[in-house]
Amino acid sequence: MTDFDTIKSEYDLVLIATGDGVFTKDLRKKLGVINKTSDEDAGSKILEGDRRGVYLVFQAQNGETYTRSGKHFGGKEAQKDGVAYLHANDKKNHVEIATFPYGRMCQILTSMPQTFKDTAAYTNDTQLRLTFDGERMVPMKPTEVAWFKKYKAKLMEILKEANIWIPTVQSTINVYYGPRRNYYYHAVGVKSERVGGKVVPAILFLGDSLGGTDYMLGISLRRGMVATTNLLQQVTNVDQCWNSFEIHQRYWDDVIANDFNKAADEQMAVRELKKVFTYDMLDRIVDGHKMYSDYAEKVAKSQSEDG
């Protein structure tokens, strides 16, 4: 008997959060739930259009009220030009600005040199900063510098128009290239069943073992945490484990519809911003207080009014 068989015989529900590596692939093959959609699939519509972006990450000096001149600020105009802004309002005031190939950012991002992608890749051992003159942390080739100057000039123009603030010391702003790679499995696992009078537990996948938006740092992990919370809020006793597959599958079908299979359009930045808000900010506990649970309704209403 394998260790996994032992686990199945001793537990009422089995949750798998092992990433999308060899173990997950082998286990899915054994369970017969290998149907997967990814960007590499022929004819895949998981993400239509250009699949590249540049991300700025830094720590702000102050928190963000999301208001400008006494009015709610949602960054609508910047989003139409492929720029999404999000201040987490956590202890360290983390901020992420994501730029996508849409609006005024489209032509610049679609002309990004391959060498810049290699330089600014998140997995690169070196770190690229927004400043590249004097304080530049990573040497760049002339073609990269020329492209980066155009990118930065256009970004600064859009941020200024939208009243989005960044640190004056731009060497504190980290810059990453983010290829827009996605994948997801269609089935969340296998149902509970009765075999010879014995109940075999449901086996459910979570996090990267279920799907991932690899270009958004940490989102797949947090998506898994949200999924786990959603599942355990509804499965509160042993008897409810029998329905755990159906509960989790309904949740995941909704995630697929909202997080994946989306074409590049003027709402792209809004969708990406909503994902970061949902998985990085909503209900985060800071200093013992739950953040944004009462603010979420205001944000949703504002986005609806913005169109």
Which pLDDT tens digit goes with each residue over 162-186?
889 899 888 889 888 876 667 889 9
188 shares its domain with 168: no
174 shares its domain with 207: no
64 shares its domain with 174: yes
pLDDT tens-digit map of 39-85: 666 555 555 445 578 888 899 988 887 777 877 776 777 878 888 88
Write down the pLDDT at residue 158: 94
Last residue of a domain, one of 179, 204, 227: 179
CB 248 within 8 A of CB 226: no
59 shares its domain with 139: yes
pLDDT, averaged per 10 consecutive residues of the chain (307 residues), comes to 59 83 87 82 53 83 80 73 80 84 86 84 70 55 86 94 89 82 86 77 88 66 82 84 90 85 60 69 58 50 53
The pTM (predicted TM-score) of the whole model is 0.62
Q: CATH code at 32?
A: 3.50.50.60
132 shares its domain with 86: yes
Residue 286 counted as domain residue: no
**DSSP code of 281?**
I
Our count of domains for the chain comes to 2
Q: Do the bridges between strand 36-38 and strand 211-213 make them parallel or antiparallel, or are there none, so unpaired?
A: unpaired
CB 128 within 8 A of CB 120: yes
162 shares its domain with 73: yes
Q: Please name the residues in contact with 242: beta carbons below 8 A apart, sequence gap of 6 or more.
A: 192, 199, 202
Domain limits for position 91: 52-179
